[in-house]
Amino acid sequence: MTSANLLRIVFVFLFLHLTIINIFAEDGEPVKKEDEINKKKVSLEYEIDAYYSNIGLYIGLTDEPIPDAGEKEELEIYRDLLYSSYIPRFLVLEAAVFPMPNLGVYLKDDANDFYKSTDISSNLNIVKTVTAGFEEPYAFSVFLGNVIKFTKPGEKQKQGNFGYMGYLISIGNYHIKDNELIDDNWCEIEWKIKGDRKFSTRDLHWSFRIGGKLHDNPHIKDVIYLSLRRSMLDLEEYASILKNSGFEYTFDVDSKTLTPLRHYLTIDKKWPFKEQKIAFSLTVGFVWEDAEKYTGSLRDKAGRDNFQVIIRPNILF
């Protein structure tokens, strides 16, 4: 068993364990008093998702509690984070795993007959369309900056209900290309403003970041990128397209020549079910990669640009 397989198994076990705890937790569990929560300088938070799951250790660097932005307007949240960002007050250590991209790697490596059976054409594979878009199987990150939380009177705070602004350093030792693992010690450095505000009937997610990614593998180009993401869900506004949609766009350029290397664009639509408090989500989009993104043995033999369709069904809880 390779180290990559072992790490994936450990992560899957960890997140399944957390999921089971979350599902079978008693609904009647008393909520901690607000002053008790505010006194905590260290807390453990986690999120479970088919494409991005993580667990993070939040460490307060001062005696100040995590500020509560509640139901403030989005622009007010950005302003509050920006005005307070000159003095970092929180350190966050995070481990993240990307289940669906890992599934794509597994199917191509260990269930290749099934993987090939999902070919629609020479350039289109169903597994690849569902799992494309993530360039690594997992990541370890350190965030330094400011954090705010979101609570609503009468509702228990959901996991991962935070906003961030600051600097993030992420590392890993594998790269994913065409559902295959490639040895690559990479390091990513970025400045970001990110938030996940999740209430019982309304969710708002945003991420605006700029950064760079360095690769130890000489056949993968180092890049500088700009990334924008915003997504909304409103269980009470089923017919509203604006309140139940989102987008994500990332633009990579060669760090040396500033030549465009990658465009990543997705648009999603959600169909909420208020009574069940869930929503079905369908994300469609594409990834375009310049032929020069990879060199040597990793470059396409025909020397062509790569265009990959993305289709991601998901269920949001």
Handedness of CA 176, 177, 183, 187 (dihedral sign): negative
For 257-270, what is each residue's pLDDT tens digit? 999 999 999 999 99
Confidence of residue 33 (pLDDT cuts 50, 70, 90): very low
Which regions of the chain does DSSP assign to beta strands (E)? 42-47, 53-60, 90-97, 119-121, 124-125, 138-149, 162-177, 180-198, 202-215, 223-234, 245-254, 260-273, 278-289, 306-316
Beta carbons within 8 Å of 151's beta carbon, 6+ residues apart: 68, 70, 157, 161
Q: Give the β-pairing of 223-234 and 162-177.
A: unpaired
| pLDDT above 80 (res 130) | yes
Confidence of residue 127 (pLDDT cuts 50, 70, 90): very high
How many angstroms separate the CA atoms of 124 and 101, rounded?
16
Q: Supply the pLDDT for residue 121.
A: 84
Q: In which order are the strands placed within the sheet that holds 42-47?
A: 42-47, 53-60, 90-97, 138-149, 162-177, 180-198, 202-215, 223-234, 245-254, 260-273, 278-289, 306-316
Q: Supply the pLDDT for residue 84.
A: 66
Beta carbons within 8 Å of 187's beta carbon, 6+ residues apart: 169, 170, 171, 213, 214
Tokens of 58: 């939040």
Whether the predicted model's global pTM rises above the 0.85 cut: no
For 275-312, what is each residue's pLDDT tens digit? 888 899 999 999 999 999 999 999 987 767 789 999 99
More confident residue, 70 or 108: 108
